[in-house]
Amino acid sequence: MAIRGQINFPGDKSISHRALMLAALCKGKSRISNLSTGEDIRSTRRCLDACGIAIHDKADGVTVHGGSFSDPPSPLNCGNSGTTARMLLGLLAGKGINATVVGDNSLTSRPMERVMTPLEKMGLKTERNNETLPVKIKKSQLSGIEYHLPVPSAQVKSAVILAGLGVQSETSVRESIPTRNHTELMLQALNADISIHGDTITVSGGKPLSRFAMKIPGDPSTAAFFAAAAAVVPKSRIMLRGISLNPTRTGFFSTLQQMGGNIEYFERSKMSGETVGDFEIRSTALRSVQLNRHEIPRLIDEIPALAVVATQANGVTEIRGASELRFKECDRIEAICCNLKNMGVQIEEFEDGFAIEGPCHLKGTAIKTFGDHRIAMAFSIAGLIAEGETKLDDRDCTAVSFPGFFAALEGIRE
């Protein structure tokens, strides 16, 4: 069995969230094509719709009628989407909306204090019992602040920026470690009042945003799982087309190259400030790598895929500074270590990561996905090189980011 062929991916999930929210801020009708098909994006659409933003499906994408928000008649259910919840809080705070934000059981257990702290410093009035959802926000007079992110988080950064767009004075966000910058790039493309100097982003409101048309590039986080498959399955070769090559998102691919991975890049272009391109991955011998906290933000979502690749690399791969993984859809460090141990891998668990000694001969086993789409996809890839059957306890959770995952994977298996 080998992995062969080419894949075009649905739109990037992170950019899709932001495109919908920024289109909601723009006066008039914006058009978005190749929107992510994941359930998380549906959560963002439902929440915006409940706030008076009309979003319609068209043959070539969706149209968003933005510019006019209203208080939602019932709590806004963000489902499993932390991006929806955190960024929506900033967006609605800036628009002076009264709303209660809730989520499913998984999202309700994830930290929201990190986003509430800066928003409350801006003057947002809230009602909440602890550091998690539900959170009730009230129409408030916000003021600009200068905020230094204590933990690298593109979601928190974006929430503060979105809130800052509703304030006449300046709001500045400083990050010590760069995180994905899609919000900034899109706002620059929309000629918003935004400036970037070194590690500091500054915005101010008052300048209206114009409607736009945008095609969302393919999701590099989803593409990483297919690249991992091509890297570890012998005699494999696949082409991934139209993928976002934003430097803040390509950490997995540059790490794979450090490990000896055979990646060749082809045509590149620009879409709304984002670099997009095609690349080919071929299987080859791999070596271990060591990653620290400065490198983690560029591949935080792809670490489950990287763990599978590490099982086939010569030497000890060590990933540290990734404690944020414990606060994703599940505790991903625990999920990775538990399942790889059951597959026969020599893995040592740390509070902020793990170390894997390879190469390992994987054995098929029952996989506990913990309802996490990234864990399900990663161990589907591991199953391709395992001896015996690998069975996931929840295949459907992949719909959070890529409902067509298994069909796409089957389509490139020879």
pLDDT in the model for residue 272: 72
pLDDT bucket at 181, cuts 50 / 70 / 90: very high
Cα–Cα dist 414/411, whole Å:
8
With beta carbons less than 8 A apart as the criterion, state whether 242 and 11 touch. no
Q: 118-144, pLDDT tens digit by residue?
A: 999 999 999 998 899 999 999 999 999
Q: 19-76, pLDDT tens digit by residue?
A: 999 999 999 999 999 999 999 999 999 999 999 999 999 998 999 999 999 999 999 9
pLDDT in the model for residue 247: 94
pLDDT bucket at 250, cuts 50 / 70 / 90: very high
Whether the per-residue pLDDT at 174 is higher than 90: the answer is yes
Which tokens is 376 given? Answer: 């399900």
Percent of the chain scoring above 90 in pLDDT: 95
Active-site residue flag, 301: yes
pLDDT in the model for residue 379: 98
pTM for this structure?
0.95
Average pLDDT of the chain? 96
pLDDT bucket at 206, cuts 50 / 70 / 90: confident
Cα–Cα dist 135/130, whole Å:
9
Pairing of strands 135-138, 99-102: antiparallel
Whether the per-residue pLDDT at 273 is higher than 90: the answer is no
Whether the per-residue pLDDT at 147 is higher than 80: the answer is yes
pLDDT in the model for residue 280: 97
Check 57, 301, 352, 394 and give the catalytic one. 301
Whether the per-residue pLDDT at 296 is higher than 90: the answer is yes
Which tokens is 59 given? Answer: 């043959």
Q: Residue holding tokens 């990663």?
A: 378
The 10 Å Cβ neighbour count of residue 207 is 13
Average pLDDT over residues 89-112: 96
Whether the per-residue pLDDT at 213 is higher than 90: the answer is yes
Whether the per-residue pLDDT at 387 is higher than 90: the answer is yes
Whether the per-residue pLDDT at 414 is higher than 80: the answer is yes
Average pLDDT over residues 193-220: 94
With beta carbons less than 8 A apart as the criterion, state whether 89 and 101 touch. yes
pLDDT in the model for residue 267: 81
Residue of 401, 53, 343 whose CA lies nearest to 225? 401
Q: 308-350, pLDDT tens digit by residue?
A: 999 999 999 999 999 999 999 999 999 999 999 999 999 999 9
Q: Which domains does the chain have, with CATH numbers?
A: 13-206 (3.65.10.10), 217-411 (3.65.10.10)
